[in-house]
């Protein structure tokens, strides 16, 4: 984080040039002090030539007091701060070369020890294959929380199967956002009959074969059945 007087256009240009170089560390932001703004022409020049991929804040305090205030901040992630935990975890999972890290540490990767680790394993495999992940038990609170976490970190495209009203109500109760999460109601889906036809074609020559009607009933019995056919297609 770089703190500088708002009228120091030379610092703005230096920061922008440093961002273009692969030899310099990326900055997390620029704080302009004294309620001063850079020349609009300088800002336009920086945007056009660097992509302007860092945030810029303007504050009324002078540089010394701004730095003192920043140094006094407690930069930590609390155990109950789910949004920050999920965002940090997603960033590490997306951008860190975990294989190289394990090789450097020369430690064996630990086996999942907690119930939540099962989800981590599934997510890891899906990410490696660049796949969408489908949650058939989409109305379950823990499933909704998991999908929200994945969407928050933009790790994968999660899909929840179930009644949209019940899913959204549960999300409100859990205080999670479902932005980026796709919700499909198997009983109202336009793919419902097509999936039933797929099941019928697979089972019609087998012993105790299905009719088209029983195949449709099987699809409607459980979101798990719908999800199974969905991922196979």
Q: Would you list the domain boundaries of the chain?
A: 2-71, 112-232
- How far does the chain reach from its first CA to its final CA, in angstroms? 48
pLDDT category at 118 given cuts 50, 70, 90 is low
Fold classified for 112-232 = Rossmann fold (3.40.50)
The two three-digit tokens of residue 177, written as one number = 């956002």
Q: Which residue is it, tokens 């997390």?
A: 28
Q: Which residue is it, tokens 């009983």?
A: 187
What pLDDT digit, counting tens, does each position of 188-218 carry? 998 989 989 988 888 877 766 678 888 899 8
Please state the separation of Cα 228 from the chain's center in Å: 24
- How many residues are there in the chain? 233
Q: Determine the pLDDT at residue 112.
A: 46
- Report whether pLDDT(58) > 90: no
Choice among 1-10, 49-58, 211-220 with the minimum mean pLDDT: 49-58
Assigned CATH for 2-71: 3.40.1390.20
What pLDDT digit, counting tens, does each position of 83-109 carry? 777 777 777 766 677 677 767 776 655
pLDDT category at 123 given cuts 50, 70, 90 is low
- Report whether pLDDT(175) > 70: yes
Mean pLDDT value across residues 104-133: 61
- Report whether pLDDT(167) > 90: yes
More confident call, 160 vs 150: 160
| Highest mean pLDDT of the ranges 16-20, 95-99, 110-114 | 16-20
Q: Determine the pLDDT at residue 53.
A: 67
Q: Report the C-alpha gap between 170 and 176 in whole angstroms.
A: 9
Contacts of 82 (CB under 8 A, 6+ apart): 149, 176
More confident call, 197 vs 15: 197
Q: Determine the pLDDT at residue 124.
A: 65
């Amino acid at each position: 984080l770089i703190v500088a007087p708002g009228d120091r256009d030379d610092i703005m240009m230096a920061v922008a040039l440093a961002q273009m170089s692969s030899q310099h560390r990326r900055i997390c932001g620029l704080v302009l002090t004294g309620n001063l703004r850079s020349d609009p022409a300088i800002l336009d020049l920086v945007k056009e030539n660097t992509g302007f991929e860092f945030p810029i804040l303007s504050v009324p305090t002078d540089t010394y007091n701004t730095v003192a205030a920043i140094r006094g901040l407690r930069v930590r992630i609390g155990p109950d701060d789910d949004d920050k935990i999920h965002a940090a975890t997603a960033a590490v999972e997306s951008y860190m070369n975990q294989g190289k890290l394990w090789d450097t540490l020369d430690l064996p990767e630990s086996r999942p020890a907690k119930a939540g680790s099962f989800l981590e394993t599934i997510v890891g495999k899906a990410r490696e294959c660049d796949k969408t992940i489908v949650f058939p038990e989409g109305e379950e609170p823990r499933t909704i929380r998991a999908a929200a976490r994945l969407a928050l970190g933009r790790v994968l495209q999660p899909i929840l199967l179930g009644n949209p009203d019940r899913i959204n109500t549960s999300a409100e109760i859990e205080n999670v956002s479902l932005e980026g999460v796709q919700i499909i109601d198997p009983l109202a889906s336009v793919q419902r009959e097509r999936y039933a036809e797929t099941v019928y074609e697979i089972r019609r020559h087998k012993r105790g074969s299905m009719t088209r009607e029983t195949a449709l009933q099987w699809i409607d019995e459980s979101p798990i059945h719908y999800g199974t056919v969905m991922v196979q297609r």
